[in-house]
Amino acid sequence: MKLVFATHNQNKVKEVQALLPPTISLLSLSDIGCNQEIPETGETLEENAILKADFVTHKFGYPCFADDTGLLVNALDGAPGVYSARYAGEQRNSEDNMNKLLSELASKKDRTARFETVIALNLNNQQHIFKGIVEGEITTEKKGKKGFGYDPIFKPDAYVETFAELPLEVKNKISHRGRAIHQLLTYLKNYGNDLGN
């Protein structure tokens, strides 16, 4: 079975493919000739994930999964949330996004926050939703060189390091994206095993 991961990032595709049964072949957006930006006009992470998965399934006819991730800060009423990637503008610059967030939290005592990833899977004329959440807090300064996005200013609960300081294998086990992907993979492995019977 061919399954599309709604991303142009071939490294992401390879990472997930390595964890799937051989009965499932994973394709990227580039692999199916989808070179356009899929509109993310939803008001929630779940809506955006569904929009992307539905776009691929309806336009290209493939079963597909798509993800959307956001950082939700309690003192900012859940912002940046669905706008996390473009919080400081359409340039989608991580440094600008972090600087804006640190500035807006400068006078706040409550720095608790959480990362959420939502995955929408369209398979066999059914839609399945998987969610991963990790609780933590926003630090007062950037720390660490690993990771991407807001990782240098997010410290997960029970850790003294930010996501950008933690080894990748540790981050992947506890992160929002890691938890959502694990749920997806568990489902797909069972599905793939059924295909192989």
Read off the pLDDT of residues 136-175 as tens digits, 9 standing for 90 and up. 999 999 999 988 899 999 999 999 999 999 998 899 889 9
Domain boundaries, the chain: 2-196
Q: Are 147 and 167 in contact (CB under 8 A)?
A: no
Selected residue with higher pLDDT from 166 and 191: 166
pLDDT above 70 for 197? no
Name the least confident of 15-19, 23-27, 133-137. Answer: 15-19
Using DSSP, state whether 113 is helix, strand or coil: strand
Among 3.40.50.300, 3.40.50.2300, 3.90.950.10, 3.40.462.10, what is the CATH number of 2-196?
Answer: 3.90.950.10
**pLDDT value at residue 191:** 81
Selected residue with higher pLDDT from 195 and 27: 27
Percentage of the chain beyond pLDDT 70 is 97
**pLDDT value at residue 14:** 85
**Percentages helix, strand, coil for the chain, rounded to the nearest 5?**
40, 25, 40
Which helix (H) or strand (E) segment holds residue 177: the answer is helix 176-196
pLDDT above 70 for 196? no
Strand segments, DSSP code E, in the chain are 2-5, 25-27, 64-73, 80-81, 112-123, 126-138, 154-156
Q: Identify the CA nearest to 36 among candidates 8, 69, 5, 10.
A: 8
pLDDT above 80 for 193? no
Tens-digit pLDDT profile for residues 5-17: 999 888 778 878 8
Give the predicted TM-score (pTM) of the model. Answer: 0.89
**pLDDT value at residue 195:** 59
Taking the alpha carbons at both ends of the chain, their separation in whole angstroms is 13
Kindly list the catalytic residues.
Answer: 68
Average pLDDT along the chain: 92
Q: How confident is the model at residue 91 (pLDDT cuts 50, 70, 90)?
A: confident
d(CA 135, CA 112) in angstroms, rounded, equals: 8
Mean pLDDT of 27-54: 94
